[in-house]
Each structure stands twice: as C-alpha cells, then as structure tokens.
Structure 1
C-alpha cells in the first residue's frame, strides 16, 4: 500500500536532506497570477492583523464583529485580551476595526476565502522571539502580558503586510485593484509608523526581565525577517548604522526605508517564508500551522507536489 507523506514529514525531509531547497538560492521574482489572486493573498495577513488586534484589545475577534468575513474558517489558537494601558488599548482597538474594513474591501472587490487557521498563542510568539534573539528567553515572552510586550509583538505584523502591498502594486493590471491596494497600503504603513514611533519613544528602555532594550529587540526581529525571507535586506530596526540612515545622516530609523527613503517591497514567497517562520514558502508553521489560503499560497505547499 502506498504511503502518502504528510506535509510535516515532507518538510522535515527537505530540511534534513535537501537544505539547498530551504537555504539555497531563493526565488525573489514576482509570482505570475491574476489581480484577484494577488489581492486575495493579502487577505491572509489582514486576517492575522484583524484577529490579533481585535482580540488583544477586546478579547473577541472577527466572529464577534463580522462573522461573515471569516467564511467558516477556524478560530485562532491562543489569542487573548492583552493587559493594555488606556492609550495603547484605544490605538489597538482602532487598528482592529480598520482591519475589518480591509477585509470587507478586498472581499467586496475580488472575493475571498475562509480564514486560515492562525496561531496567536503566547507559545508561538515566544518561539519567534527566541528565534530572533538566538536563545531561550526566561520566562517565555508573553505578548499579552503588558503594553510594551504587545507593541513589540505588533512590530512583527503590519510591516509584513506593508511590504507585500508595495511589492504587489506595480504588477497589478487594473486600475480598480491598483487603487484598492494603494489605499490599503496607506493605512498599513500608518499602523506600522505608529507602532514604530511608540516603540522608539521607549527605545532605550530594557524589557523586563530580559535586560534587552526595546530598540535591540526590534533589530533582532528585523534581522530574523531578513534571514527568513532572504532576497536581501528589506527590514531594519529602530536604530541603524549611519550609512543606512536617511541620506546617511541619521542613526534613528523610525520609518524603515531604502537608500532613497522608499518603502521596501517583498514577494508572496518572501512573505510566506517569514510568517511561516520556516524560511520556506512550501513549509507552513509559525502563524499559519496549516498554511495560508488562496491560490497563490496553496500553490507552494509541498503536499501539492508529492
């Protein structure tokens, strides 16, 4: 009887015996797909942001606010209400409602798909932060413990959507989808700027009880995203060497941008490598235990190739 390998076992095989497929020359080229598929791909990140922000602020997510948008997809794993101060709570609540609007805008324009399974548990964030700093944090990092932890966890998320829209817009064919993507990009970049500014104000503060400053955490996280996504440096923390600062004149880096102070761009492959936490767009994990949804994301899954 033939044995069909699970996606988990195939990924283990690739990591163990074919490392070149994981860490070799990555594909950095845009995917060939329709405008609809490209915008629908963004739904994966909008679901992630909506659930993290809504549940962090309110203790309830999309199923309570607008269940029709979830299209029967499973509820997230481990998400909970965060212990936020009043100002941070108000900001995150607003972000959550904005993400609901983004989901509606995309679905109304190009259609949608069921919410993918999301892992927003403290354990998943702890694993990511351990991976970023290079050792096991003790106690485990808990994104919901306080406002600073939550902002650091939030630093992980909107920027990935931002660079995805920047990468998508030039390859869209129709004015309708271009306008929508540009409008979505405007709010995503605003969210990222707010989060980075709030963290910059506390940049020299050590995150209790780890003895690591806020700005150092952002540098670690950005370096990890560059490592996972591959395809060059497209992510920077709150402080950079002067040669990477705006016009080579500043070490502050409140807005992450290239040598021309333009936003970085990433492809769907780069984004999947990052949010899966595996460095491989064919091996799910991280925030998406079963993989992201939509034609683009599903086309990369190894279970569809074996």
Structure 2
C-alpha cells in the first residue's frame, strides 16, 4: 500500500490536522483486522474478484432469469454445472431480479477494472450438495442423498434458493470488505468498497426474506430454514479461523449485538456494529471446504488468477494476531509489535487486530456450533446479561417535577 494512500486513510480515520505521513510500521493499524501490507498487485486482486463475482453472479442470474450473463461477461467461460431457472414465488422473484442484475454489474466491474480472465468452471449441483453435507457434518463417503433420501436442489423452492444465495452472498460481502485495504489504487479500492456495501445490502434483503420463512421446512433435510442456516453459519465460521465473524438468522450469542426480542439478525456485526471482513484465503478456504489445493466444491477445476489457494497463510490467524512469523505464505504481515499503537488523537491505544477488538471483549464461547445462531429456540425478551461487553445507554426520564434526570433515571441496555 502506498505511503500517501495510507496517510490519507489514517488522516480520515483520526481527523488529524497533522501533515506528517505514517510510515510503514510506525503506527498505522487497519481497524478491520486485515493485513497492513500485502504482496498482491491490483490486477491480482481484481482477478481474484473474477472468481467470486462469477460464482455469485452466475448463480443469481441463472436462478432468477434462466440464463447466464449478458454481453459475454464470462469471456468464454463455461456454462455452470446444474444451472437452471429456480422455482420462485412472485415476491422472491421480484427481489432477486434486482439482485441478479446488480451481480451482473459486479462482474462488469471486474472487467472494467482490468480482469481479462474467463469465468472459471463452477458447479452448482455438486457444490451445494457438498456444502450442505459439510454443514450437516456428514462422514466421508456419505452424501445428502444417501442420508436424507434425495439430493439437495438449490433451485427447487424459495427456501432452497435463498439459503444458497445467502450462503454465497456473505462470502462476497465479507471478502470484498477485506480487499478494500489491499489495493494501492484508491479508485479500485473505492469500487471494491461499492461491491462490499452492495453485497451487504443484498444479504440483508435475503436475510429478511428468509426470516419471513424461518419456520418453513427445507427439503430434504426436514429442518426449518432457521435451523439449516444456523448450521451453514457455524460451518462457515469453523473454516476461517477462531474469530467470530459469522452469524445465523437468529443471534443469541452474548459476545455480539443480540437484540432480546426474538433475536432477529438481519445485519451480522461485531459488538461495535461493524460488519466483518475476510481475507482472500479465508474466502477460498470456505468455498472449497478447506481443500489445500483450492479445488473442488464450487470450483471443480480451481480458481483463476494468482490468488487461488487457501494455503500459504495461517488459517487460525486474524488480522495482526498470531500471524505466522515464517514459512511460505501469500501474505506479508507486520507483527503486532512492529505496527505499534495508533497515534494520537485516536483515544484507543494499542489496537492490534480483530481478535483484540472483538473476540477478547466477550469471553470464551464455542463458535463452532449452531446453538447460538438460531438452531436452539430461546424465549423472546430474555436479555443477554451474560454479555461481557455491555453498553450503558443513559437517556432522560421524566422526574416528578417534570425535569429530566439522567444520573438517577438512566437505563442500561444489554446488547
């Protein structure tokens, strides 16, 4: 990352009047927990995006319209395996048409930003059946069909399609957000930020549509939408390191913002209300279910470009925390000690990474299970008194004299 661009970002974050740039290792620490410097080129980043946007965009476009991208945005890439029109209600169809057109636009962005690579081969049939087999923790040799009596069809219904769309959408949302600090070109970074915010908006719509259907049964699993997605969320979270950065449709996890009344979770965030970030390797590791070759599941022939494998980094690392000091890796990271604390006037010293900003606030809780993501029913209105990250919100309450009192009448809200 160029020093001038880093300085500009820091100036914006700190609202500092200082004209002195922050040199590498002298104080700049990305608040999202992503690497301060990477040895990727901008073209590497854009070509990596080709994989993500082709996977998401082709699934959304085929399922919504029954055909692939317009204007040869695949650049000669093959037709996805199992692609067809989904069986959608009028309500879901109308929402998905806008989302699918946006996803075509995302693919167009990668072309305009310089990617000339064809879309990779993607597999919807085998990909989603392996995906849900992993979510249900099936043993090697077991398949969805052998266990449940029929394969999973992502195009069969509103429920199946939305579950599958959201499974991919949030990989794009978190992965795109994680890329914003990895480019040296502010124009490309601004475009990628647009991808991230757009994908997050898509995911929110999809979550709301699924929330309305949360008690509907999903074929062939004979579990509710809420339960199935709780399994998906838990599975994704176990494939990107120990940090908590994935949540179900219902969130009762006391380490995060969990609204007590029915615990709806339309926008997954940490305790500060910030959406999550993932590195390219974390995204790949989830998409190929941990295969170190970077092949299989949705990418039977692998990804295109130079960023194609989940290996070369420590899957247990997050941001600047516990990153490997040696060994082959794609990422080049500075240590926590080298980065140092954020400079004044920021009033939060020694910010070191995502684990310190989120995980350590809340204490130990197994984030590899579906129990806090909506799989288990929790009575509505039960506050999260176990949350170690309580936020005190004081507001005036009328006193007997008609005046307001904050000191004696404040109310504590538990998030």
1:57 aligned to which of 55, 64, 80: 64
Count of residues in Structure 1 that have an aligned counterpart in Structure 2: 270
Within 1, Cα distance between the matches of 2:111 and 2:287? 22
Q: Can you give the 5+ residue segments of structure 1 that lack an aligned partner in the other structure?
A: 1-27, 302-306
Render the CA deviation track for 1:124-170: whole Å, top value 9, x for unaligned: 31221122123433322211111111111112111001101111112
Contact 1:138 / 1:210 at 8 angstroms: preserved in 2? no
Contact 1:215 / 1:238 at 8 angstroms: preserved in 2? yes
Render the CA deviation track for 1:31-50: whole Å, top value 9, x for unaligned: 52012211321111110111
Determine which structure has more spread, i.e. the larger CA radius of gyration.
Answer: 2
Within 2, Cα distance between the matches of 1:101 and 1:248? 34
Matched, 1:154 2:165: yes
* Structure 1 residues 242 and 118: alpha-carbon distance in aligned structure 2, compared to 1, 3 A threshold: closer
1:44 equivalent in structure 2 = 51
1:109 equivalent in structure 2 = 113
More helix by share: 1
Contact 1:272 / 1:280 at 8 angstroms: preserved in 2? no
* Structure 1 residues 94 and 247: alpha-carbon distance in aligned structure 2, compared to 1, 3 A threshold: closer
* Structure 1 residues 178 and 82: alpha-carbon distance in aligned structure 2, compared to 1, 3 A threshold: same
Render the CA deviation track for 1:7-40: whole Å, top value 9, x for unaligned: xxxxxxxxxxxxxxxxxxxxx9675201221132
**TM-score in terms of structure 1 length:** 0.81
SS at match of 1:229: coil
Within 2, Cα distance between the matches of 1:220 and 1:73? 32
Contact 2:284 / 2:310 at 8 angstroms: preserved in 1? no
1:205 equivalent in structure 2 = 216
**TM-score in terms of structure 2 length:** 0.61
Contact 1:155 / 1:218 at 8 angstroms: preserved in 2? no
1:167 aligned to which of 155, 171, 178: 178
CA RMSD of aligned residues (A): 2.3
2:187 equivalent in structure 1 = 176
The worse-fitting range, judged by mean Cα deviation, of 36-45 and 181-190 is 36-45
* Structure 1 residues 106 and 227: alpha-carbon distance in aligned structure 2, compared to 1, 3 A threshold: same
2:78 aligned to which of 67, 71, 74: 74
Aligned-pair distance for 1:212?
Answer: 1.0
SS at match of 2:308: helix
